[in-house]
Amino acid sequence: MPKLWNDTITAHRQAVRDALLDTTA
């Protein structure tokens, strides 16, 4: 898997996790 694609998925998962934390906090 290309590094750029992997970084994109990592950033997306980080954003999703932060969004979930914001809504549940």
Alpha-carbon dihedral 9, 14, 16, 21, rounded to 10 degrees: 170
pLDDT tens digits for the chain (25 residues)?
A: 789 989 999 999 999 999 999 887 6
| The model's pTM | 0.54
Measured CA to CA, the distance from residue 4 to residue 19 in angstroms comes to 22
